[in-house]
Amino acid sequence: SKFIGVTRSGGANGQGVIYSVTSGGNYQLLGSFSGIAGNQPGASPSTGLLKHSDGNFYGATEFGGVEDFGVFFKIGG
């Protein structure tokens, strides 16, 4: 099994990361949030991830986006 998660801080920009971990303990960094206002990746994920029936994961950030009030994001499952 493969588990997907996010952190609120850390990563290349200090604004959180997206990662996966297998049941065997193999870790893979999938990406870093940018922390730049106006940039869709946003910063500081503020929710856990929800898995939709379409196989994708969805979440929200506290910062980033056009007005720096956060964004919704999708991670392919």
pLDDT in tens, 1-58: 789 999 999 988 889 999 999 999 999 999 888 877 655 568 899 888 999 999 999 9
Residue 77's pLDDT band (cuts 50, 70, 90): low
Q: What is the pLDDT of residue 13?
A: 86
Q: What is the pLDDT of residue 2?
A: 85
Q: How far apart are CA 63 and CA 77, in angstroms?
A: 24
pTM of the model: 0.80
Which residue, chain included where needed, has tokens 């994920």? 45
